[in-house]
Amino acid sequence: MTRHLLTGTELDRDELLALLDRADALKAAPLSSRALEGRSVALIFEKHSTRTRLSFEAGIFELGGQPIVLRRDELHLARGESVGDTARVLSRHVAAIGLRTGPDALLEELAAASDVPVFNMLTAGHHPCQALADLMTLREEFGRLEGLKIAYVGDGNNVARSLALVGAIAGVEVAVASPEGYELTGDCAGALLTSDPAEAVAGAHAVYADVWVSMGDEETADARRAALAPYRLDDALLDRAAAGAIALHCLPAHLGEEITAEVLYGPRQRIWDQAENRRHAQKALLQLLVD
């Protein structure tokens, strides 16, 4: 049966830890695997991307493969060809398909018709590849995942949901602090949900921020900034976490909104390691899916 990664919950604990072990090995020796030698991977982007596109393109190349970047307006999807037919055609040419889009249903439809692995490069509901890099970064810093706590402060979005779901598999406690109207909904895997940032970060080994105005939220930007202002990640909030706590952010960052310059560029963050780890974790994921 073709294996996909749509939410991250397709992985069990042993598989997740083995994937992170493999990511560590690939970080230490980036050209040690030729898992995609002579094969191509289709990367479909319906949303803008910096880190996702860079990390997947570079990672596929390092695995010996050829990334094929496709945008919706370049495909017949934009002219009415069905998602299923697109998947059937792509399956005849590539080893795997990545999709960065809005509706989760579109990703699910693509996977249902595909004969090759489909992986989620971001949807409205989930961002599992980001969560894999986040866990890799945590383990690099603390040497373990079991028993760690990560606090996410801000909009209860796809990043928060993936942290909750994938973090739970790894044994990481996840707390999410959001204002009324921006709470994390749906399956939260037992995450602590609160409106109080101080409660969320108490005892946390990492404090995590994300943009307040995501792609598609521009019309409500002013209201979002007003509601989320108390959830800014600054030194004072980080001081409320456990001793030695680190700051994380999935980027792009908007200085003075969800994070201060002092934290983003300061000694307590691991944000740039986190951005690099996207490539290594995703290479391990691709190897798992295509083997």
Chain position carrying tokens 């249902």: 112
Long-range pairs of 111-114 with CB within 8 A, sequence gap ≥ 24? 111/4, 111/6, 111/87, 112/84, 112/87, 113/83, 113/84, 113/85, 113/87, 113/88, 114/2, 114/4, 114/87, 114/88, 114/90
Cβ–Cβ < 8 Å for 269, 234: no
* 210 catalytic per annotation: yes
* 155 catalytic per annotation: no
Peptide bond into 252 cis (omega under 30): yes
Set 4, 126, 130, 232: catalytic member: 130
* 188 catalytic per annotation: no
Set 4, 39, 100, 126: catalytic member: 100
Set 127, 232, 249, 270: catalytic member: 127
Beta-strand ranges (E) seen in the chain are: 40-45, 66-71, 96-100, 118-122, 149-153, 173-177, 192-194, 206-209, 246-249
**3-state class (DSSP) for residue 81:** coil
Set 126, 129, 249, 250: catalytic member: 250
Set 134, 210, 232, 274: catalytic member: 210
* 66 catalytic per annotation: no
Catalytic residues: 100, 127, 130, 210, 250, 278
